[in-house]
Amino acid sequence: MNLVIVYPSWSSFGFYDLLANEPDAKVQKERPPFGVREIVGWLSDDVSSSVSAKALITRLEDCQLRGQSEYLGFGNAHHMAYAAGHLYLECEYSEGSQVLMTIEQAVSTLSDYMVFLQAGVRNKEAPPQPFMVEYLAEGEESYRRIEALGGRLGFSVEEMKGVSRADRQENKRRVLVDKSHTSKKS
């Protein structure tokens, strides 16, 4: 299990690690592990808002209730997959940037991220509160573990058919709405 304190900054996320236990010790800036960078990249690149974080929490809880493995899709930069109470994240653009978290760890991180976003204060004199990020594994180990749990990246053929069908239905709905608005203007 990996546990790291994230000290977010208002302009972008910053990462720090306390290397000494003395109360007046200076906080030293360090390069965080891949897992933390992946999680923070996912938060800033793909989640990015309180509304998205809340929707993702609901989606993860729904996955847990259904209890079956599911590819959750691809955001701006990250793939997400669910299997057996775990969330797997993988960055499309960075080799080795993979992480595995329990759903509880993911929900906790998303909730803390929402608190950071909702504070909305951009005052350097009142920095945002740090929060803990916890995860099980990073890199190739995380992929091996999600695979062993029955997780996968990518949609199945049946899921692709469903997505295509849903897209076609949505396009038809838009055309009907557009025609309706056009005919009312005439």
Residues 82 and 93 occupy one common structural domain: yes
Residue 183 has a pLDDT of 64
Which pair of structure tokens corresponds to residue 47?
């989640």
Angstrom distances, CA of residue 76 to CA of 41, 46, 56, 93? 10, 5, 15, 10
Residues 182 and 132 occupy one common structural domain: no
The string of pLDDT tens digits covering residues 41-57 is: 899 889 988 999 999 99
Residues 29 and 88 occupy one common structural domain: yes
Angstrom distances, CA of residue 143 to CA of 2, 96, 137, 167? 16, 10, 9, 30
Give the range of the structural domain holding residue 48, as residue numbers without chain letter. 2-154
Contact 57, 151 (CB under 8 A): no
Distance CA 5, CA 11 (A): 18
Least Cα distance to 109 among 61, 170, 39 occurs for 39
Residue 169 has a pLDDT of 73
Residues 72 and 162 occupy one common structural domain: no
Residues 115 and 134 occupy one common structural domain: yes
Residue 49 has a pLDDT of 87
Residues 83 and 168 occupy one common structural domain: no
| Spans of the chain, pLDDT less than 50 | 13-28
Distance CA 89, CA 78 (A): 6
Residues 185 and 126 occupy one common structural domain: no
Which pair of structure tokens corresponds to residue 50?
């309180």
Residues 81 and 121 occupy one common structural domain: yes
**N- to C-terminal Cα distance for the chain?**
64
Residues 39 and 63 occupy one common structural domain: yes
Residue 134 has a pLDDT of 93
Cα-Cα-Cα-Cα dihedral sign, residues 74, 78, 79, 84:
negative
Distance CA 87, CA 80 (A): 7
Residues 145 and 161 occupy one common structural domain: no
Distance CA 156, CA 130 (A): 39
Q: Please state the domain count of the chain.
A: 2
Residues 8 and 31 occupy one common structural domain: yes
Residues 22 and 100 occupy one common structural domain: yes
Residue 19 has a pLDDT of 33
